[in-house]
Amino acid sequence: MIKHFCKLTSMQKCISLLIILLSFNVYSEPRWQLYKNEQGVSIEYQEFSDDTFVVKGQLNIEDVTANDFLDLLSDTRIASSWLENTSKVRVIKALSPSENLVYSYIDSPWPVANRDAVTYSCYSRLSPQQTKLSIESRPEELPLTKRVVRIKTLNAHWLLTQKGEDLNIEYQVYALPGGNIPTWLYNKVGLKSTFKTLVNLRTMLETKSYTASEQVIKVGSCNLRELTAK
């Protein structure tokens, strides 16, 4: 349609049309808003028309590598020490060296029911200095737990960028808790939990407060489903 329009009208009108279309694409994406920038951790969020959020956190840690992060991730015994509100994490099944299924149990304050999640994780290399751990919900992979709400919508990633001896970490997540939690309350808890998780992560990596063992996931290929996030 654009090509036909350009043939029938002046170049000025054609350029104007393209600018309008490009402007629409830019402004259709919600802008990132700053929630908090403290203790070396920056948290931003995008708010959509249905009031749901995509949350993104970033931090830079000196004298740390992507392998250090994977060592911490592999020590699921201490996951509750840095993953806010998460009391249990276990690898259900290794699908390949670069893919696995993970079960997480999330504590909720009374009277809200506790949540759990079954997720698919995949670790891939984007460049010599950058790797990405992609996470998506696979709720059907494990039977439901009584009196626990299964999180059915979750898409997240950890983007690890090595800059000399420093590691830049970006965490981004879109999730729907399910059940009857008001959206505004879940958004508030999600922002606060992401900030605390990344502050805890910094402490764990800087102090090496984990047991380095065989890593549960290695760089390879992914089999991600079509994303359901915003």
Tokens standing for 94? 């290794």
pLDDT at 213: 81
Flag whether pLDDT at 223 surpasses 90: no
Domain locations along the chain: 1-28, 31-207
How high is the pLDDT of residue 214? 87
Considering the chain, what percentage of its residues have pLDDT values greater than 70? 86
Q: What is the CATH topology of the domain spanning 31-207?
A: Alpha-D-Glucose-1,6-Bisphosphate; Chain A, domain 4 (3.30.530)
* Residue linked to tokens 């840095």: 82
Q: What share of the chain is helix, strand, coil (3-state, %, to 5)?
A: 30, 35, 35
Residue type, 7: K
pLDDT band, residue 228 (cuts 50/70/90): very low
User: How do residues 108-134 score in pLDDT, each as one tens digit?
Assistant: 877 789 999 999 999 999 999 999 999
E strand segments, 6-152 = 33-38, 41-47, 53-61, 86-96, 99-106, 115-127, 130-137, 149-150
Asked if pLDDT for residue 145 goes beyond 90, the answer is yes
- Predicted pLDDT at 9: 55
Query: pLDDT tens, 66-112?
Result: 999 999 999 999 999 999 999 999 999 999 999 999 999 999 877 78
pLDDT tens figures, 22-75: 444 444 678 999 999 999 999 999 999 999 999 999 999 999 999 999 999 999
Is pLDDT of 164 > 60? Answer: yes
Rounded to two decimals, what is the model's pTM? 0.85
Q: What's the pLDDT at 7?
A: 52
What is the residue-averaged pLDDT of the chain?
88
Using the predicted structure, report yes or no on whether residue 135 has a pLDDT greater than 50. yes
8 A C-beta contact, residue 183 and residue 45: no
How confident is the model over 197-208, as a mean pLDDT?
Answer: 98
- Provide the pLDDT for residue 8: 46
Query: From CA 41, how far away is CA 19, in angstroms rounded?
Result: 36
